[in-house]
Amino acid sequence: MRTLVTGAAGFIGSHLCERLLADGHTVRAIDSFTDYYPPESKRRNIAEFAGSPAFELLTLDLSTDKIDQALAGVDVVFHLAGQPGVRLSWADGFRSYAERNILATQRLLEATRRHALRRLVFSSSSSVYGNLVSYPTPETDLPRPYSPYGVTKLAAEHLCSAYAENFAIPAVSLRYFTVYGPRQRPDMAFHRLIEAGLGGPAFPAYGDGSAIRSFTFVDDVVEANMAAASAELAPGEVFNISGGSSVAMSEAYEIVSSLTGSPTKVDVFPPKSGDVQRTGGAVDKAERLLGWVPKTDIRTGLAAQVAWHRDIRGV
């Protein structure tokens, strides 16, 4: 299988590239190495396989650069590129989210019209749901984003559906629920929480710890992408990729403390705008149509992430 992975040097993208190469596929990778977090961290993510003859890295910005040639000869596109994070998507920060999540997706979809693809797998987010009243949430519930970030991810989803319906682009969307594991972005909660437990700065906890999240281990997310690339699916389908564990943040603090062997330093602040109280997605549809279920529980997954943090710290 000849693949194109956008956002290839990021947290999830690098794991997906690694899996594709291990399975014998070729990978053409796109990343613009934005400064949302240090580009050197992204380059480290792909360092072990960047020299593979089956791996080609293109430094491109999907929202501005010419991208047609990158799609030449490709069977499957995994579109993971975008501007992540809820808290910076307000005010002047919104421009980057509109460009990197909406415009970049629209330009990629336009380019796919000129190439015969087997599948385009779009990485969406549970942030499209916002605050709902029933859990676990099925894909049929009406999305009501609670942040500008969620709005841009839902807009990109709708673009995928519109291009699927109008031009038969074989696009499907995967709604990720709080992905964690080795190489997690440094702005994400578990990264900062583990660093705090290993002697770094105190973890800034926004809220009283009662917020509940459905945590999904990165290897399970990669498996969902692989399944979505090969399953027989109608264009425009949307799937929740959720779980393994749903726990309160206060419980997560305790698990990390037990894994690092020291109390985790936590500084408590008021909740931030855009943060929802609870997430949790039903995965019946993914199990039925993709043959996918989450396999990694929170303690096993966090143990793997703690081991990665120890390794990069040399402790």
CATH of the domain at 105: 3.40.50.720
Which residue is catalytic, options 36, 97, 149, 180?
A: 149
Please say if 37 is a catalytic residue. Answer: no
pLDDT mean across residues, the chain = 96
Q: What percent of the chain has pLDDT over 70?
A: 100
Q: What is the pLDDT of residues 217-275, one digit of tens each?
A: 999 999 999 999 999 999 999 999 998 778 999 999 999 999 999 998 899 999 889 88
Q: Is 90 exceeded by the pLDDT of residue 199?
A: yes
Total structural domains within the chain: 1
Q: What is the pLDDT of residues 88-147, one digit of tens each?
A: 999 999 999 999 999 999 999 999 999 999 999 999 999 999 998 788 999 999 999 999
**The tokens of 28 are what?**
């053409």
Domain hosting 28: range is 2-313
What confidence score (pLDDT) does residue 21 get? 98
**214, 179 contact by CB (below 8 A):** no
pLDDT computed for residue 274 by the predictor: 87
Measured from the Cβ of residue 262, the count of other Cβ atoms closer than 10 Å reads: 13
pLDDT for res 134: 83
